[in-house]
Amino acid sequence: MFAPADTRTKDTRTKLSARMKPRTRTLPRVFEKSSDLTFTSTRTLLQYGHATGKLAVRGAVPVDGDVMELLLDARDAQERNKLLSDTAYGRFTAEATNLTEFEAGLDAARANAVNLLAEAQMDPSFEAYFRVTAAYQAGSEHEYFAEKMELAQATGVAFLVQTTRLEIDCANVRLLMRKRAAGMSAQELADKDSLIREGSLGTAQLLRAYRSTEREGGDDGGSVALHELAVELTKLGPFRAVDPAALEDVYTLDIALRGVQERNLARALRLGVGPETVVAYVLRVYSETDLLRALMVGLDNKVDRQLLRRYVVVE
């Protein structure tokens, strides 16, 4: 799987060239009009301009759904290596000859992205935030998110606080759908204090949605309740654009929630020069490396490609 890179097929080159066509560029937000050139925007440009300028080079081809599709459809490791060479990760994974070396390359890509925080002379709490994210293993989500929220608030950047709240919302929605599929009652869910606080959606609000869709009647009642809960959750805040059916399936649930978070990052990356853009880029690197790791582990273990596609391709 990890053979040396070779030339791409004509079909692959055609697909990638279409994605790489020059786009009309707009000026960063701080340059939109002369009255915007205040002391604050100038200071922002001086502090973040250099780091922000590197983002276009590092992330020329983001690893979005299109690239993941191409990676899945690649005939062999040579073609996958060539595809990755056009992304921000190619220089870190090009020499990998096995899965362990590939994962080490992804870790190096993460560390390289975090270095942008130092280049922009950002507060140490930013790096601490990403260290906590990288170090998290299976454990108490309550403690994990409490620490992340404390660090996000310490940075003073509202976007990072909002992004952490959204991550908590997604964790809570995932929990509710899985507990409903397992048949847990609203009372038991409340007694266990399972929902995570500090999200943009209050735990009481989420419990009301869960309780209002409880049904009796075995398997049929359970499937109806699962569907109705998905409908209720997609009426709330950040999930209004999500298809309820996507929340009902164990595979599409995770990918739908990742899609919500990716759209949040995409908006921040369009802002121009500022701390939000740098933070959003690092967050995107963490998300993309997670997907690439899952893809390559799946391919290495010969997981069915259609099943793998349902997990790693973000719409």
Q: Which of 47, 63, 44 is nearest to 117 (CA)?
A: 47
Residue 70 and residue 15 in contact, taking contact as beta carbons nearer than 8 Å? yes
Q: Which of 223, 217, 221, 193 is nearest to 206 (CA)?
A: 193
- Measured over the CA atoms of residue 161, residue 163, residue 165 and residue 171, the dihedral's sign is negative
The band of 176, judged by pLDDT with boundaries at 50, 70 and 90, is very high
User: What average pLDDT does the structure give for the chain?
Assistant: 78
**pLDDT one-digit tens code per residue, 251-281:** 788 888 988 988 888 887 776 666 787 888 8
pLDDT at 29: 35
What is the rounded CA–CA span in Å between residue 226 and residue 215? 9
**pLDDT one-digit tens code per residue, 157-170:** 888 999 999 999 99
What is the rounded CA–CA span in Å between residue 236 and residue 234? 5
- Residue 206: pLDDT over 70: yes
pLDDT at 83: 85
- Residue 195: pLDDT over 90: yes
What is the rounded CA–CA span in Å between residue 124 and residue 118? 8
Q: Which of 243, 98, 238, 234 is nearest to 176 (CA)?
A: 234
Q: Which of 152, 190, 171, 160 is nearest to 233 (CA)?
A: 171
DSSP string, 100-118: HHHHHHHHHHHHHHHHHHH
Residue 94 and residue 78 in contact, taking contact as beta carbons nearer than 8 Å? no
Q: Which of 137, 173, 136 is nearest to 151 (CA)?
A: 136
- Residue 71: pLDDT over 80: yes
- Residue 287: pLDDT over 80: yes
- pTM comes to 0.75
